[in-house]
Structures are given as C-alpha cells and as structure tokens.
Amino acid sequence: MPRSFLNSTLIQTLAFLSLSTTAAFADFDRGLELYQSGDPASAAEEWKVDAENGNVIAAFLVGHMYKSGNGLTKSDRLAFPYFLQAAQRGHSDAQIQTALYYYNGDEEAEIDQNYLEAIKWFDKAALQFSGEAQYYLGVMHREGQGVARDRAEGLRWLSLSANKFYVPTYLLLAEIYAKGDGVVEEPVKAAMYMDLAQRYSDTSNRDNVSEVFDATKRYIDANQRAEGRLQAQLWINANDKR
C-alpha cells in the first residue's frame, strides 16, 4: 500500500479515531510514525493492538497490509477478519473489501461466492456515497447477481457512481451506450463517458481505458467523438467541484 494511499485514508477517516481511547490513539500515532519511517512491519504490530481495542481505521489498515503483503505476510485468510471488523463498524472501504470477498469468493479465506452477502455490504458502502460500491450495485442489478435482473435500476446506480468520478463506471457506460446494451444506442453519450474515463484515468486503469476505447471506437464516428468531448467538458463544468 503506497504511503500516499495511507495518508489519504487517514485524512478521510480521521473522525473514526475519536472513537478510540487516548492510549489507543497514541498507539496509532506510533504506528503511523513507524510506517512513515519505513518500518511497516512494526507499524502493523502497533495497529493490531489498536484493532483489538476497537480502532476501526487500524483494523482496516491491518487488513489491507495482509491483503497486499506490505509489512505482513500476504494472506487473504488473515486479512478478511480485519476487514469484516472494520466493515461492521461502518468503515466504507472495509465494507467494499468485505463485499468483494463474497462477490468473487476466496478459496484461501474459505469464503464461497455469495452474491446476497456481497450486495448487502456493497449497499452499506453505497449509502455512504462510495462510487465503487455504487458501480458494483449497478453491475449486479444489470446482471441479476443476487437480485432480480433490472437494467433500469442498474443504470440508476451507475449514474450515481459516475458522479463520484469512478473510472470503471465511465468505461462500462461508454460500452453500454455505444452498443445499445439494454438502452437506445447513443454514440455521443458513449463518447462523452469515454472522454471522461480518459481524463480521470491514472496508471492503475490506463490499460483498461485503452482496451475499452479500442472496443468502442468502431461504434462512434469522428463527429460524434468531437461532440462527446464537448459534452464531457460541459459535464465536468457542472459536476467537478473537487
């Protein structure tokens, strides 16, 4: 887990720390100092103690360190209980991780694929305005995974996710509107979402953006693509308040 991710997570979830005791808060700070000094293994040991004392963000970070193998031996079996602990106390990122274990199933963690459990946890995170969770709810409703297939409801969730600048959602919407997958074909709208995906992509998803661009370009002509770029800029002007 890169330090930039860690620091961002801490900022976003600072409110959770007020739930911890003074001692646990001090331990958490000690763990943060160790992590920032390049000793994630020792930081993880500090945060394990914090997690036992009910510190939600510590539980999430230990889960993430087990899952990524950063400072701890990589283990989905050991990561899952920490994610679940944080998820049960309302941490939206932990709720997503918990949902993903159920959505995909995990042999090492001895978790069978269970769409009903997945959708339960995605729903909890989506209600906290998680674009990623809203994306998965959109997919699950469109595909009938754990719920009756409902493409209109799926599109509603995807539209909510798009407002959170979640790049996979832009890519899926570009494909949906380019191919008319359950909707009327709208090449300009497809081009708009493709343009948004390109603008907001980073190194983690740039390859996926290129793949979807190649898959949809035959559905969209040059004029439609130009109009899509204009619509994307108008969309950004109206929605990007970050």
What's the mean pLDDT in 88-101? 97
Helix 115-126 to helix 131-143 angle, to the nearest 10 degrees? 140
pLDDT of residue 67: 96
Whether residue 16 has pLDDT greater than 80: no
pTM (2 decimals)?
A: 0.87
What's the mean pLDDT in 62-82? 97
Whether residue 2 has pLDDT greater than 50: no
Provide the pLDDT confidence category of residue 28 given band limits of 50, 70 and 90: confident
Where in the chain are the domains? Answer: 165-242
DSSP symbol at 218: G
DSSP symbol at 106: B
pLDDT of residue 41: 95
C-beta contacts of 23-32 below 8 A and 24+ residues apart:
23/53, 24/49, 24/50, 24/53, 24/54, 24/55, 24/58, 25/55, 27/53, 28/55, 28/57, 28/58, 31/58
Which class for 192: exposed (0-12), middle (13-18), buried (19 or more C-beta within 10 A)? buried
**Residue 144, Cβ neighbours under 10 Å: how many?**
13
Average pLDDT, the chain: 90
Q: What is the pLDDT of residues 122-145, one digit of tens each?
A: 999 999 999 999 999 999 999 999
